Structure 1
Amino acid sequence: MAGTASGMIASGAAHGRSLERPPSDGVSSLSFSSSSDLLVCSSWDGSARLYDGPRNVCRASFSQQAPVLDATFQDDSRIFLGGLDGVVKRYDFFARQEATVGQHLAGVRCVEWLPERGLLATGSWDRTLSCWDPRIPQGSNQAAQLRLPGKIFSMSHAGQRLVIATSSRHVLIYDIRKMDGLPEHERESSLRYQTRCLRCYPNATGFAISSVEGRVAMEYFDMSESVQAKRYAFKCHRKSDTGQDTVYPVNALAFHPSYGTFASGGGDGNVNIWDGANKKRLCQIPGYGTSIAALAFSRDGRHLAVAASYTWEFGEQDHPADAIYVRPMHDVEVKPKPRM
């Protein structure tokens, strides 16, 4: 990837407003609502917090004993969450009601609401993908259970496809209209090292995948030779000092909903904005002070939520307290620039 068109990096750019009442231990996910500016944050402290992101207001919170590994919206009141204890729950923030949706044998790393099907997909460290119908009482609501070749590390869906990355570097692509058998396609990640994050393109033509070894790969669903020739990977989130490279994991990816550009967040504490189609970095937001654990664009792309939360790349060490920032984004930072 090239640098910004002007050769300048947006050093000194504001980090955004720090949200009140951040989690006390390890942010595990961030997700904006698809119909409002509400933001849900899950954490290893056992909480899920609901924020009005741009207004810096914590609207409500949920707590349990087990760490919450992922959370996503069903609607502006209700969220689904997956816990380290393997329990999948639905929680209504405003009615203050919780219900168990399902159970895995190990931690539930990913939860993804599929509104097209009215189903919740959950991916677990027990190497299974399950689909649940929350309209049906627990015990008879499991619509599908699929055994996968590794622990599920990341999951994303766009259009009619659900894409899953596992611990064995497998990537499985499912058609959500038929989740009762084999994947539509299965491939090995083009990155040699462990996967950290996978996110689908907003136009549902492919996905980006990142690894612990400071790389991102751009992939496509169409298996024709001409389309597959467009695949590529690039290095990022690295620092060079006296000829020595320090490589940081790329923990988080988030696509702009309108422009298709994307943000990456690394263990170096920096956020980069990329134009993947033109292979350029548009800007950098540096210096969050600790690892970037999660990223999310708002539904209109006008705000980017950033979780600055140490992700233990270097083991036990002192680190800043967890913080969540919501940063206004301007077109010059996220809109693709015309080709020269």
Structure 2
Amino acid sequence: MSAQYHIPDPPSDAISSLRFSPSGTKLAVSSWDRTVSIYLHTPDADQPFVRETGIQCRAPVLDVCWGPDEETLFAVGLDQDVRVLKNAGDEQEVLSTHEAAANKVIYSHEHGLLISTSWDGIMHVHRPASKQYVRVKLPTKPFALSLTSTRLVVAMAKRKLSVYELQSLSMLVDQTGGSSDREDVLEVAPWQQRESSLKFQTRALTCMPDGTGFATSSIEGRVGVEWFDPEAQKNSYAFRCHRQTQTSPAPANADGATEQGETEVDLIYPVNALAFHPTHGSFATGGGDGAVALWDTQMKRRIRQYGKLGPSVAAVDFSSDGKFLAIGISPGFEDGFEEKEPDPTQVKIVLRQLAENEAKGKAAK
């Protein structure tokens, strides 16, 4: 049976990312209020997650991910540092420092690698266990990261997508000894270099659970689904979503007189967040319209859409067992009020407890 909850004690400023731990018993939420909040799963049926602690950082945190165990987190932010947070933040250490704000971070359990990117156009490939890392030059400014057990996908400006083999990146760190000289920036040819199927700036990226492909989303209310294999890539597709139709008075004619009647206007919202369900292979989208929808990857159709949850969806993530969908709600500034201070009451963490087949697509007739 499905249910929906609001997790108490959300951050006081806009949410930048949220991630379930590998076991699904913890939820880490990063925010512009300079904290990484950790929420713990409880047996309470009325409130399945409660805030365990808040880790204070030096600057707004732009992304967070879990490390090799349930007590290790990695975070990046406006202070340019790639930081490891252990034991609820009692232990903090800087692993590397970018030349500009560090915007994305992700950890590969299979290879023991931590990858971070920055607006400086440089990717850091770390081996946290040995505190070694190398700098890799990217074709242009990065916007999103995702990985499979064997590959890393980087979405960038100018519609560029680079796919790297994680084994090759792992060997690179080992062979170079993890040079951390700021002048030593390596040119590494990706396994694949392609152009996004979407015409506008990439906002989010997520890889399929089976490792065969990925989905991207854009600021222009579209999602693209692609595969790595050239043969399967023929099945790639894109679709429009997170749009609303609004009626408004008819515009004035050439003489300046207002015409009778109304016109329909499409309101297009960015698709800020993507996440694949770990078992069903369907995926969730979160948009600037404050809504979340579930999509059937193979049948190319919407499974269901949840009602408006708030001003804008900033992040989504499924737990590893697929039973929970966490949704970060924040002011998204789609209304044009970028200069205003965010209203803390609009910052929420919504938890959707999914019914057994709620995220499962329907078989073709």
**Pairwise same-fold verdict (TM > 0.5):** yes
Q: Which residue of structure 2 lines up, in the alignment, with residue 254 of structure 1?
A: 275
Cα distance between partner residues in 2 of 1:149 and 1:315: 31
Secondary structure at the counterpart of residue 334 of structure 1:
coil
Is 1:178 the equivalent of 2:168? yes
Cα distance between partner residues in 2 of 1:184 and 1:211: 24
Secondary structure at the counterpart of residue 358 of structure 2:
helix
Number of equivalences = 321
Secondary structure at the counterpart of residue 152 of structure 2:
strand
Q: CA deviation at 1:301?
A: 0.5
Instruction: State the structure with more CA Rg.
Output: 2
Q: Which amino acid aligns with 1:267?
A: G
Q: Which residue of structure 2 lines up, in the alignment, with residue 6 of structure 1?
A: none
Q: Which residue of structure 2 lines up, in the alignment, with residue 290 of structure 1?
A: 311
Q: CA deviation at 1:52?
A: 1.6
Name the TM-score, length of structure 1 as normaliser.
0.91
Q: CA deviation at 1:61?
A: 1.3
> Aligned in 2, Cα 1:261/1:97: closer, same or farther, shift over 3 Å?
same
Question: What do residues 107-148 of structure 1 show as CA deviations (whole Å, max 9, x unaligned)?
Answer: 1111111112211110111101111121224xxx11x32111
> Aligned in 2, Cα 1:333/1:36: closer, same or farther, shift over 3 Å?
closer
Is 1:197 the equivalent of 2:190? no
Secondary structure at the counterpart of residue 62 of structure 2:
strand
Question: What do residues 156-185 of structure 1 show as CA deviations (whole Å, max 9, x unaligned)?
Answer: 001200000012221100000002421000
Contact 1:18–1:56 (CA<8 Å) still a contact in 2? no
Q: CA deviation at 1:326?
A: 1.1
Q: Which residue of structure 2 lines up, in the alignment, with residue 108 of structure 1?
A: 102
Contact 2:293–2:304 (CA<8 Å) still a contact in 1? yes
Q: Which residue of structure 2 lines up, in the alignment, with residue 299 of structure 1?
A: 320
Structure 2 residues not aligned, in runs of 5+: 43-47, 173-187, 248-263
Name the TM-score, length of structure 2 as normaliser.
0.85
- 1:81-96 counterparts in 2 under 5 A? 81-94=75-88, 96=90
State, as a whole percentage, how many aligned pairs show the same letter.
Answer: 40
Contact 2:310–2:330 (CA<8 Å) still a contact in 1? no
Secondary structure at the counterpart of residue 168 of structure 1:
helix
| Among 54, 58, 63, the residue aligned to 1:61 | 54
Is 1:160 the equivalent of 2:147? no
The range that moved more, 127-136 or 287-296, is 127-136
Structure 1 residues not aligned, in runs of 5+: 1-12
Is 1:206 the equivalent of 2:213? yes
Contact 2:103–2:118 (CA<8 Å) still a contact in 1? yes
Q: CA deviation at 1:60?
A: 1.5
> Aligned in 2, Cα 1:36/1:333: closer, same or farther, shift over 3 Å?
closer
Cα distance between partner residues in 1 of 2:104 and 2:76: 7
Q: Which amino acid aligns with 2:311?
A: T
Secondary structure at the counterpart of residue 50 of structure 1:
strand
Q: Which amino acid aligns with 2:216?
A: I
Question: What do residues 179-216 of structure 1 show as CA deviations (whole Å, max 9, x unaligned)?
Answer: 24210001111111110000000000000000000000
RMSD between aligned residues: 1.5
| Among 29, 32, 44, the residue aligned to 2:20 | 32
Contact 2:9–2:51 (CA<8 Å) still a contact in 1? yes
